[in-house]
Amino acid sequence: MASIDNHEKLQEPNAAEETRNLQFSPDDVKVYEKGDYNTAKGQRDERLRWKNANFYTSLQFAVTGIITAIKEESNMRKHMLVSVIVIAAGLILQIGRLDWLMIFLALFLVIAMELVNSAIENVVDLAADYNFHMRAKRAKDMAAGAVLIISVFAVVVGLFVFLPRIWSLIFG
């Protein structure tokens, strides 16, 4: 019996306990009822605040999303660093126009897919209330798998573009 009691004392708090301990401000969560669409103008204005009123507002939200991903997602920062290195290599090796097209296609696909992956992970975490659920894990794993597939494509493009030039520099 003593060993069971000691084991229980050493256990880490579970995710539900950690979630209860999180501090949320009223600005973090706003719950809207279905009837909110047809109620007083004050609530509609609050809801419209998050709508894209025009192209400039849409652009602001998109740039904010990209900046947030760079700040909060370590994989996004790694992808950005690799992108800078690949662009520098392309400039040094003086790759052609079609090669630039393929390089930029690969880089933008990886970065876009990482943004989608991060968005999916955030929504799944929110929907799962930061608790472990097998379906949530599957969704996050699938999104990460999509990034992996695009990243493999980017590596293949990089090999096709850079390997012949590096080979000719070394043995040429």
pLDDT digits (tens, 9 = 90+) for 25-66: 556 555 555 554 555 555 555 666 666 778 888 899 999 999
For residues 140 and 121, the answer to whether their CB atoms sit within 8 Å is yes
19 located within any domain: no
Q: Which domain holds residue 78?
A: 73-172
> What pLDDT is stored for residue 66 in this prediction?
96
- Nearest Cα to 66, choosing from 122, 118, 143, 25? 118
20 located within any domain: no
pTM exceeds cut of 0.75:
no
24 located within any domain: no
Q: Percent of the chain at pLDDT above 70? A: 70
> What pLDDT is stored for residue 94 in this prediction?
95
CA distances from 88 to 75, 94, 111 (A): 20, 10, 17
> What pLDDT is stored for residue 130 in this prediction?
86
pLDDT for 67-98, tens place per residue?
999 999 999 999 999 999 999 999 999 999 99
User: Catalytic residue among 72, 73, 114, 121, which?
Assistant: 114
One domain for residues 87 and 116: yes
Query: Per-residue confidence at 17, pLDDT binned at 50, 70, 90?
Result: low
CA pseudo-torsion sign 117, 119, 122, 125: negative
Q: What torsion, rounded to 10 degrees, do the Cα atoms 125, 67, 107, 83 define? A: -120
> What pLDDT is stored for residue 57 in this prediction?
85
107 located within any domain: yes
22 located within any domain: no
One domain for residues 88 and 159: yes
Our count of domains for the chain comes to: 2
One domain for residues 113 and 55: no
With vertex at residue 60, the alpha carbon angle to CA 59 and CA 64, rounded to the nearest 5 degrees, is 115
Alpha-carbon distance of 172 to 163, in angstroms, equals 12
55 located within any domain: yes
Alpha-carbon distance of 93 to 57, in angstroms, equals 39
One domain for residues 113 and 47: no
Is 18 among the catalytic positions?
no
